[in-house]
Structure 1
Amino acid sequence: MKTKFYFPMIFSLLVMVMSLFTACSDSDNPLSDTTKPVIDLNSPTEGQVLAIGSEHGVHFEMELSDDVMLKSYKIEIHNNFDHHSHDTRATGTTVDFTFNRSYDVSEQRTAHIHHHDIVIPANATPGDYHLMVYCTDAAGNEAHVARNIVLSTTGGDDRHH
Protein backbone atom coordinates (compact mmCIF):
# COMPACT_ATOMS: atom_id res chain seq x y z
CA MET A 1 0.00 0.00 0.00
CA LYS A 2 2.81 2.38 0.81
CA THR A 3 4.39 1.89 -2.63
CA LYS A 4 1.15 2.95 -4.31
CA PHE A 5 1.24 6.18 -2.29
CA TYR A 6 4.95 6.95 -2.80
CA PHE A 7 5.18 6.08 -6.50
CA PRO A 8 2.92 8.93 -7.80
CA MET A 9 4.58 11.38 -5.44
CA ILE A 10 8.11 10.38 -6.50
CA PHE A 11 7.08 10.37 -10.18
CA SER A 12 5.60 13.90 -9.88
CA LEU A 13 8.71 15.15 -8.13
CA LEU A 14 10.92 13.62 -10.84
CA VAL A 15 8.88 15.28 -13.61
CA MET A 16 9.14 18.68 -11.91
CA VAL A 17 12.91 18.38 -11.47
CA MET A 18 13.39 17.28 -15.09
CA SER A 19 11.31 20.20 -16.38
CA LEU A 20 13.51 22.63 -14.43
CA PHE A 21 16.65 21.26 -16.08
CA THR A 22 15.23 21.27 -19.61
CA ALA A 23 13.45 24.65 -19.53
CA CYS A 24 14.90 27.44 -21.64
CA SER A 25 16.78 30.15 -19.84
CA ASP A 26 15.47 33.71 -20.12
CA SER A 27 18.41 34.75 -22.29
CA ASP A 28 17.47 32.10 -24.89
CA ASN A 29 13.87 33.25 -25.10
CA PRO A 30 13.48 36.34 -27.33
CA LEU A 31 10.09 37.10 -25.78
CA SER A 32 11.74 37.70 -22.40
CA ASP A 33 14.07 40.33 -23.92
CA THR A 34 13.05 43.78 -22.68
CA THR A 35 16.31 45.60 -23.45
CA LYS A 36 16.27 48.05 -26.37
CA PRO A 37 18.98 47.78 -29.03
CA VAL A 38 21.82 50.32 -29.04
CA ILE A 39 22.38 52.73 -31.97
CA ASP A 40 25.72 54.51 -32.32
CA LEU A 41 25.23 56.85 -35.30
CA ASN A 42 28.60 58.11 -36.52
CA SER A 43 27.55 59.90 -39.71
CA PRO A 44 25.76 62.16 -40.48
CA THR A 45 26.57 64.14 -37.38
CA GLU A 46 24.33 66.64 -35.58
CA GLY A 47 23.92 69.81 -37.69
CA GLN A 48 25.81 68.38 -40.67
CA VAL A 49 25.28 70.16 -44.00
CA LEU A 50 24.50 67.77 -46.86
CA ALA A 51 24.83 68.68 -50.53
CA ILE A 52 21.73 68.82 -52.70
CA GLY A 53 22.17 67.27 -56.12
CA SER A 54 25.40 65.40 -55.38
CA GLU A 55 25.81 62.31 -57.54
CA HIS A 56 27.30 60.52 -54.53
CA GLY A 57 24.97 59.34 -51.80
CA VAL A 58 25.20 60.65 -48.26
CA HIS A 59 27.86 58.90 -46.18
CA PHE A 60 25.86 56.92 -43.61
CA GLU A 61 27.66 54.97 -40.90
CA MET A 62 26.61 53.46 -37.58
CA GLU A 63 27.02 50.56 -35.19
CA LEU A 64 24.02 48.54 -34.00
CA SER A 65 24.02 46.08 -31.11
CA ASP A 66 21.58 44.11 -28.99
CA ASP A 67 21.95 41.79 -26.02
CA VAL A 68 20.01 39.00 -27.79
CA MET A 69 19.37 39.57 -31.53
CA LEU A 70 18.76 42.46 -33.94
CA LYS A 71 15.93 42.44 -36.48
CA SER A 72 15.88 45.61 -38.60
CA TYR A 73 16.60 49.30 -38.85
CA LYS A 74 14.88 52.16 -40.65
CA ILE A 75 16.17 55.53 -41.84
CA GLU A 76 13.69 58.38 -42.20
CA ILE A 77 14.36 61.95 -43.34
CA HIS A 78 11.68 64.64 -43.37
CA ASN A 79 11.63 68.43 -43.41
CA ASN A 80 11.79 70.52 -40.28
CA PHE A 81 10.49 73.85 -41.57
CA ASP A 82 7.10 75.49 -41.48
CA HIS A 83 6.79 76.18 -45.24
CA HIS A 84 7.04 79.95 -45.13
CA SER A 85 9.78 81.13 -47.38
CA HIS A 86 11.74 84.20 -48.43
CA ASP A 87 13.07 82.38 -51.46
CA THR A 88 12.93 84.29 -54.77
CA ARG A 89 12.56 81.12 -56.85
CA ALA A 90 9.21 80.34 -58.41
CA THR A 91 6.90 78.08 -56.41
CA GLY A 92 7.09 74.44 -57.44
CA THR A 93 10.74 74.45 -58.52
CA THR A 94 11.75 72.42 -55.47
CA VAL A 95 10.20 69.58 -53.53
CA ASP A 96 10.50 68.73 -49.86
CA PHE A 97 12.94 65.86 -49.65
CA THR A 98 11.85 62.69 -47.88
CA PHE A 99 13.60 59.36 -47.40
CA ASN A 100 12.12 56.29 -45.77
CA ARG A 101 13.77 52.88 -46.11
CA SER A 102 14.00 49.77 -43.93
CA TYR A 103 16.87 47.27 -43.83
CA ASP A 104 17.06 43.72 -42.49
CA VAL A 105 19.80 42.83 -39.98
CA SER A 106 18.22 39.62 -38.63
CA GLU A 107 20.33 36.91 -37.03
CA GLN A 108 23.00 39.39 -35.87
CA ARG A 109 23.80 40.68 -32.39
CA THR A 110 25.98 43.47 -33.78
CA ALA A 111 26.13 45.14 -37.17
CA HIS A 112 28.44 47.71 -38.72
CA ILE A 113 26.39 49.71 -41.23
CA HIS A 114 28.08 51.75 -43.95
CA HIS A 115 26.37 52.77 -47.17
CA HIS A 116 25.55 55.64 -49.52
CA ASP A 117 21.88 54.83 -50.24
CA ILE A 118 20.57 58.33 -49.45
CA VAL A 119 20.77 60.42 -52.63
CA ILE A 120 19.43 63.98 -52.39
CA PRO A 121 18.03 65.08 -55.77
CA ALA A 122 18.90 68.42 -57.38
CA ASN A 123 15.33 69.71 -56.92
CA ALA A 124 15.23 69.12 -53.13
CA THR A 125 14.19 72.13 -51.07
CA PRO A 126 17.13 73.50 -49.04
CA GLY A 127 16.69 73.89 -45.32
CA ASP A 128 16.49 72.14 -42.00
CA TYR A 129 15.57 68.45 -41.88
CA HIS A 130 15.32 65.68 -39.32
CA LEU A 131 17.17 62.41 -39.83
CA MET A 132 15.69 59.60 -37.73
CA VAL A 133 17.13 56.12 -37.26
CA TYR A 134 15.00 53.39 -35.70
CA CYS A 135 16.31 49.96 -34.71
CA THR A 136 14.16 47.00 -33.66
CA ASP A 137 15.40 43.82 -32.04
CA ALA A 138 13.97 40.30 -32.47
CA ALA A 139 11.71 40.77 -29.42
CA GLY A 140 10.20 43.98 -30.84
CA ASN A 141 12.04 46.47 -28.61
CA GLU A 142 12.75 49.70 -30.49
CA ALA A 143 15.35 52.42 -30.02
CA HIS A 144 15.72 55.60 -32.05
CA VAL A 145 18.20 58.40 -32.65
CA ALA A 146 17.36 61.83 -34.09
CA ARG A 147 19.68 64.26 -35.83
CA ASN A 148 19.16 67.76 -37.17
CA ILE A 149 20.70 68.08 -40.64
CA VAL A 150 20.73 70.83 -43.25
CA LEU A 151 20.31 70.38 -47.00
CA SER A 152 22.17 73.01 -49.00
CA THR A 153 22.82 73.86 -52.65
CA THR A 154 26.07 75.62 -51.77
CA GLY A 155 27.86 72.51 -50.67
CA GLY A 156 28.13 70.17 -47.80
CA ASP A 157 30.47 68.00 -45.89
CA ASP A 158 28.84 64.64 -46.68
CA ARG A 159 31.80 63.18 -48.56
CA HIS A 160 34.37 60.79 -47.10
CA HIS A 161 37.30 58.80 -48.38
Structure 2
Amino acid sequence: MKTRLYFPIIISLLVMATSVFTACSDSDNPLNDTTKPVIDLKSPTEGQTLAIGSEHGVHFEMDLSDDVMLKSYKIEIHSNFDHHSHDTRAAETTVDFAFNRAFDVSEQKTAHIHHHDILIPANATPGDYHLMVYCTDAAGNEAHVARNIVLSATGGEDGNHEE
Protein backbone atom coordinates (compact mmCIF):
# COMPACT_ATOMS: atom_id res chain seq x y z
CA MET A 1 0.00 0.00 0.00
CA LYS A 2 2.79 2.43 0.88
CA THR A 3 4.50 1.73 -2.44
CA ARG A 4 1.40 2.77 -4.38
CA LEU A 5 1.22 6.01 -2.39
CA TYR A 6 4.88 7.00 -2.86
CA PHE A 7 5.10 6.17 -6.57
CA PRO A 8 2.86 9.07 -7.79
CA ILE A 9 4.63 11.51 -5.45
CA ILE A 10 8.06 10.48 -6.76
CA ILE A 11 6.92 10.78 -10.38
CA SER A 12 5.40 14.21 -9.70
CA LEU A 13 8.62 15.44 -8.09
CA LEU A 14 10.70 14.18 -11.03
CA VAL A 15 8.42 15.93 -13.53
CA MET A 16 8.61 19.22 -11.58
CA ALA A 17 12.40 19.01 -11.24
CA THR A 18 12.80 18.32 -14.96
CA SER A 19 10.59 21.26 -15.91
CA VAL A 20 12.48 23.61 -13.59
CA PHE A 21 15.87 22.68 -15.06
CA THR A 22 14.70 22.84 -18.68
CA ALA A 23 12.54 25.98 -18.44
CA CYS A 24 15.42 28.31 -19.26
CA SER A 25 16.75 28.01 -22.77
CA ASP A 26 20.50 27.80 -23.32
CA SER A 27 20.57 31.19 -25.05
CA ASP A 28 19.09 32.92 -21.97
CA ASN A 29 21.59 31.41 -19.55
CA PRO A 30 24.70 33.64 -19.22
CA LEU A 31 26.75 30.60 -18.25
CA ASN A 32 26.18 29.12 -21.72
CA ASP A 33 27.04 32.37 -23.51
CA THR A 34 30.27 31.91 -25.49
CA THR A 35 29.73 34.76 -27.98
CA LYS A 36 31.92 37.84 -27.54
CA PRO A 37 30.28 41.27 -27.46
CA VAL A 38 30.52 43.50 -30.55
CA ILE A 39 32.31 46.87 -30.50
CA ASP A 40 31.64 49.42 -33.26
CA LEU A 41 34.12 52.22 -32.49
CA LYS A 42 33.18 55.31 -34.48
CA SER A 43 35.52 57.90 -32.98
CA PRO A 44 38.48 58.30 -32.68
CA THR A 45 39.24 56.79 -36.08
CA GLU A 46 42.39 54.93 -37.15
CA GLY A 47 45.34 57.36 -37.43
CA GLN A 48 43.38 60.34 -36.08
CA THR A 49 45.38 63.24 -34.65
CA LEU A 50 44.15 64.46 -31.27
CA ALA A 51 44.92 67.86 -29.78
CA ILE A 52 47.08 68.06 -26.68
CA GLY A 53 45.79 70.44 -24.04
CA SER A 54 42.23 70.81 -25.34
CA GLU A 55 39.79 71.64 -22.56
CA HIS A 56 36.92 69.94 -24.43
CA GLY A 57 38.14 66.37 -24.20
CA VAL A 58 38.40 63.76 -26.92
CA HIS A 59 35.20 63.00 -28.83
CA PHE A 60 34.61 59.30 -28.06
CA GLU A 61 31.72 57.44 -29.68
CA MET A 62 30.85 53.77 -30.14
CA ASP A 63 28.06 51.21 -30.11
CA LEU A 64 28.25 48.04 -28.01
CA SER A 65 26.04 44.97 -28.34
CA ASP A 66 25.80 41.43 -27.03
CA ASP A 67 23.48 38.53 -27.74
CA VAL A 68 22.68 38.09 -24.01
CA MET A 69 23.86 40.95 -21.74
CA LEU A 70 26.71 43.48 -21.54
CA LYS A 71 28.70 44.10 -18.37
CA SER A 72 31.40 46.76 -18.83
CA TYR A 73 33.83 48.46 -21.16
CA LYS A 74 37.30 49.87 -20.62
CA ILE A 75 39.26 52.52 -22.51
CA GLU A 76 43.05 52.42 -22.39
CA ILE A 77 45.52 54.78 -24.06
CA HIS A 78 49.29 54.26 -23.86
CA SER A 79 52.34 55.45 -25.76
CA ASN A 80 53.53 53.62 -28.83
CA PHE A 81 57.04 54.94 -29.11
CA ASP A 82 60.43 53.79 -27.85
CA HIS A 83 61.48 57.11 -26.27
CA HIS A 84 64.22 57.56 -28.87
CA SER A 85 64.25 61.26 -29.55
CA HIS A 86 66.31 64.06 -31.02
CA ASP A 87 64.33 66.63 -29.09
CA THR A 88 66.41 69.39 -27.51
CA ARG A 89 63.86 70.16 -24.80
CA ALA A 90 64.52 69.18 -21.21
CA ALA A 91 63.27 65.67 -20.39
CA GLU A 92 60.75 66.92 -17.80
CA THR A 93 58.84 69.23 -20.15
CA THR A 94 56.46 66.48 -21.26
CA VAL A 95 55.12 63.24 -19.84
CA ASP A 96 53.88 60.13 -21.61
CA PHE A 97 50.10 60.31 -21.61
CA ALA A 98 48.19 57.33 -20.26
CA PHE A 99 44.46 56.82 -19.76
CA ASN A 100 42.77 53.79 -18.22
CA ARG A 101 39.15 53.84 -17.10
CA ALA A 102 36.34 51.28 -16.88
CA PHE A 103 32.63 52.00 -17.29
CA ASP A 104 29.60 49.93 -16.26
CA VAL A 105 26.96 49.00 -18.86
CA SER A 106 25.31 46.15 -16.92
CA GLU A 107 21.74 45.11 -17.64
CA GLN A 108 21.90 46.26 -21.27
CA LYS A 109 22.06 44.25 -24.50
CA THR A 110 23.06 47.34 -26.50
CA ALA A 111 24.61 50.66 -25.53
CA HIS A 112 25.39 53.82 -27.47
CA ILE A 113 28.40 55.50 -25.84
CA HIS A 114 29.18 59.16 -26.48
CA HIS A 115 31.31 61.24 -24.14
CA HIS A 116 34.25 63.63 -23.83
CA ASP A 117 35.82 62.13 -20.67
CA ILE A 118 39.35 61.76 -22.09
CA LEU A 119 41.31 64.93 -21.38
CA ILE A 120 44.85 65.14 -22.78
CA PRO A 121 46.93 67.47 -20.59
CA ALA A 122 49.02 70.29 -22.06
CA ASN A 123 52.26 68.58 -20.94
CA ALA A 124 51.53 65.26 -22.75
CA THR A 125 54.33 63.99 -24.97
CA PRO A 126 53.38 64.32 -28.66
CA GLY A 127 53.63 61.21 -30.81
CA ASP A 128 52.13 57.86 -31.60
CA TYR A 129 49.77 56.18 -29.13
CA HIS A 130 47.53 53.14 -28.98
CA LEU A 131 43.87 53.49 -28.04
CA MET A 132 42.38 50.18 -26.87
CA VAL A 133 38.71 49.50 -26.11
CA TYR A 134 37.73 46.33 -24.26
CA CYS A 135 34.15 45.15 -23.76
CA THR A 136 33.08 42.32 -21.45
CA ASP A 137 29.68 40.66 -21.39
CA ALA A 138 27.87 39.22 -18.37
CA ALA A 139 29.33 35.75 -19.04
CA GLY A 140 32.91 37.10 -19.04
CA ASN A 141 33.51 37.00 -22.82
CA GLU A 142 35.75 39.88 -23.93
CA ALA A 143 36.25 41.64 -27.25
CA HIS A 144 38.68 44.44 -28.02
CA VAL A 145 39.40 47.02 -30.71
CA ALA A 146 42.71 48.83 -31.24
CA ARG A 147 43.39 52.16 -32.92
CA ASN A 148 46.62 53.95 -33.70
CA ILE A 149 46.25 57.63 -32.80
CA VAL A 150 48.61 60.60 -32.75
CA LEU A 151 48.81 63.27 -30.07
CA SER A 152 49.86 66.66 -31.39
CA ALA A 153 50.40 70.06 -29.79
CA THR A 154 49.99 71.84 -33.14
CA GLY A 155 46.61 70.62 -34.25
CA GLY A 156 44.11 67.83 -34.42
CA GLU A 157 40.68 67.32 -33.00
CA ASP A 158 39.64 69.79 -30.34
CA GLY A 159 36.57 67.92 -29.17
CA ASN A 160 34.04 70.39 -30.58
CA HIS A 161 31.35 68.05 -31.88
CA GLU A 162 27.61 68.03 -31.69
CA GLU A 163 26.32 66.30 -28.60
Flag whether TM exceeds 0.5 (same fold): yes
Contact 1:44 1:158 in 2 (8 A): no
Distance of 2:44 and 2:11 partners within structure 1: 60
Following TM superposition, by how much is the alpha carbon of 1:80 offset from its aligned partner in structure 2, in angstroms? 0.2
Following TM superposition, by how much is the alpha carbon of 1:142 offset from its aligned partner in structure 2, in angstroms? 0.7
Match status 1:15 vs 2:20: no
Match of 2:53 in 1: 53
What 5-or-longer segments of structure 2 have no aligned partner? none
Distance of 1:158 and 1:113 partners within structure 2: 19
User: Given residue 68 of structure 1, which amino acid in structure 2 is its aligned partner?
Assistant: V
What 5-or-longer segments of structure 1 have no aligned partner? none
User: Given residue 126 of structure 1, which amino acid in structure 2 is its aligned partner?
Assistant: P
Provide the TM-score with structure 1 as the length reference: 0.90
Following TM superposition, by how much is the alpha carbon of 1:158 offset from its aligned partner in structure 2, in angstroms? 4.8
Distance of 1:50 and 1:75 partners within structure 2: 16
Match of 2:134 in 1: 134
Match of 1:119 in 2: 119
Deviates more, 1:107-116 or 1:28-37: 28-37
Deviates more, 1:11-20 or 1:139-148: 11-20
User: Given residue 44 of structure 2, which amino acid in structure 1 is its aligned partner?
Assistant: P
Q: Secondary structure at 1:21's aligned position in 2? A: helix
Q: Cα RMSD (Å) of the superposition?
A: 1.8
Distance of 1:109 and 1:20 partners within structure 2: 29
* Percent identity (aligned): 79
What's the CA shift string for 1:111-147, capped at 9, x where partnerless? 0000000000000000000000001111111111000
Distance of 2:139 and 2:84 partners within structure 1: 42
Match of 2:40 in 1: 40
User: Given residue 139 of structure 1, which amino acid in structure 2 is its aligned partner?
Assistant: A
User: Given residue 19 of structure 2, which amino acid in structure 1 is its aligned partner?
Assistant: F
Contact 1:96 1:124 in 2 (8 A): yes
Distance of 1:103 and 1:69 partners within structure 2: 15
Match status 1:147 vs 2:162: no
Contact 2:73 2:102 in 1 (8 A): yes
Contact 2:52 2:153 in 1 (8 A): yes
Following TM superposition, by how much is the alpha carbon of 1:61 offset from its aligned partner in structure 2, in angstroms? 0.3
Provide the TM-score with structure 2 as the length reference: 0.89
Match status 1:97 vs 2:105: no
Q: Secondary structure at 1:89's aligned position in 2? A: coil
User: Given residue 93 of structure 1, which amino acid in structure 2 is its aligned partner?
Assistant: T
